[in-house]
Amino acid sequence: MTKEERIKKRYRAEKRFKFYGIISILTALLFVFILVQNIVSKGSSAFFRTVIQTEVNFDKDALGLGNNPSKENVLQSDLFDFSVENLLNIYPVDDFERENEILLLFSPDYEIEIKKYLANNLDVIGQTVILELTSSDDIDQLNKGNFPRELPENMRRVSDFQLEVFDKLNSENQISKIFNNYFFSNGDSRDPELAGIGGSLMGSFFTVMICLLLSFPVAILASIYLEEFAPKNRITEIIEININNLAAVPSIVYGLLGLGILLNFMEFPRSTPLVAGITLSLMTLPRIIIPCRASLKAVPPSIREGALAVGASKFQAVFHHVVPLAMPGTLSGTIIGLAQALGETAPLILIGMVAFVVDVPTSPLDPSASLPVQVYLWSESAERGFVEKTSATIMMLLGFLIVMNFIAVYLRQKFERKWN
């Protein structure tokens, strides 16, 4: 082979390599695009809910609450019959079966919705108000265009009569889509139109906070000690190898640990963010220690020597100079570790966080779900409402992860100081 041929061959190899690289990046981007497109197209409708504008006549006698009822009186009263009567007015019929079908257009919580409105607006007594009441899941899907109307009547969940009522209401602009605040404030529910991620959001928040409070200080101190102070001998070597191994242990094993020790032996409350946080912090610890040690190691030894040479003690050299310089890497490592913990499902299933929890937790000791577990739970439900909610929850989860990663990148860039 002549020299010229060799050079040509070299250039060709380089071009080929670049081409392969571009192809693989494009492939990866294509899959990311398909994933995001799929989730967004399925999930974005979950951020809206269908409401039926219903005339409610808050007649004093019909309410039967007496004169000047207080907020508590309203909330404790029984307004079921009152609510039913008002709902039936949207399409008057005299058949009991038909009446029932009309009520099924609404979400089963209509009495509570009316009560809450009244409790917050006591001055409407004696007036007629148009309220936006949440529709049932089927009507919601019908309104969003996801419902198979063309199927024969015995194969769909909405009867011909209900379709007729819906179309009439729709033509009179009594059906509209509004922002789904329930999705963010409510806990789980058997009715898709009422189910929300409020409970799992709080659960995830408490879990990640506990995980942060437990794992961050321990990981930082452990990595500083191991990197800066510990003698290099057999024991520290074994510890180091084990930390690296622990970071690779499947997360479900930590779930078993949490189940065995925290729940069965120490009898901590089941399904709580407390247990989840402790379990996840065990999992996160090695994953934080490794980047922390790496960033400590990356601080040039000349900085340590410079500090020692002006008479700083080892402790001062480490805490005045090395640790601040390692901070960006340490913080971003911690955030990435927490982001992993936020997305973890398997260990939480083992410690009972798959429970169906309706109430939004107010403390880490309340039973709760978490975002990824909520995705898991809803993905098993057949209702169309849950399908879109599953995707919407994934969007929320991905959103949080992206935000956390951005914070990590930002911290790294903002505080990274250059030496030499």
Among 265, 311, 382, 414, binds other proteins (CB under 8 A): 311
Tell me which residue of 321, 327, 295, 297 sits closest to 308, measured CA to CA: 321
Radius of gyration of the chain (CA): 30
Among 64, 250, 306, 399, binds other proteins (CB under 8 A): 306
**Which residue has tokens 């003690």?**
313
User: Do the beta carbons of residue 206 and residue 364 sit within 8 Å?
Assistant: yes
326 belongs to the binding site for other proteins (CB under 8 A): no
Phi and psi (nearest 5°) for 158? -110, 125
In the region spanning residues 118 to 177, those forming contacts with other proteins, defined by CB under 8 A, are none
Question: Hey, what are 215's tokens?
Answer: 């794992």
Segment lying near other proteins (by CB under 8 A), choices 87-95, 296-304, 342-350, 383-391: 296-304
For other proteins, give the closer residue by CB, 117 or 319.
319
User: Do the beta carbons of residue 256 and residue 186 sit within 8 Å?
Assistant: no
Among 300, 362, 403, 413, binds other proteins (CB under 8 A): 300
DSSP annotation of 124 reads G
Segment lying near other proteins (by CB under 8 A), choices 182-190, 253-261, 295-303, 338-346: 295-303
Among 88, 103, 129, 303, binds other proteins (CB under 8 A): 303
Segment lying near other proteins (by CB under 8 A), choices 72-80, 290-298, 299-307, 340-348: 299-307
User: Do the beta carbons of residue 299 and residue 322 sit within 8 Å?
Assistant: yes
307 belongs to the binding site for other proteins (CB under 8 A): yes
For other proteins, give the closer residue by CB, 296 or 353.
296
Tell me which residue of 176, 175, 174, 194 sits closest to 185, measured CA to CA: 194
325 belongs to the binding site for other proteins (CB under 8 A): yes
Question: Hey, what are 200's tokens?
Answer: 């799992």
Minimum Å gap between C-beta 407 and other proteins is 23
Question: Hey, what are 407's tokens?
Answer: 């914070």
Segment lying near other proteins (by CB under 8 A), choices 38-46, 246-254, 304-312, 357-365: 304-312
Measured CA distances, 87 to 141, 306, 375 (Å): 20, 80, 34
302 belongs to the binding site for other proteins (CB under 8 A): yes
Binding region for other proteins (CB under 8 A): 231-232, 300, 302-313, 316, 320-321, 325, 417-420
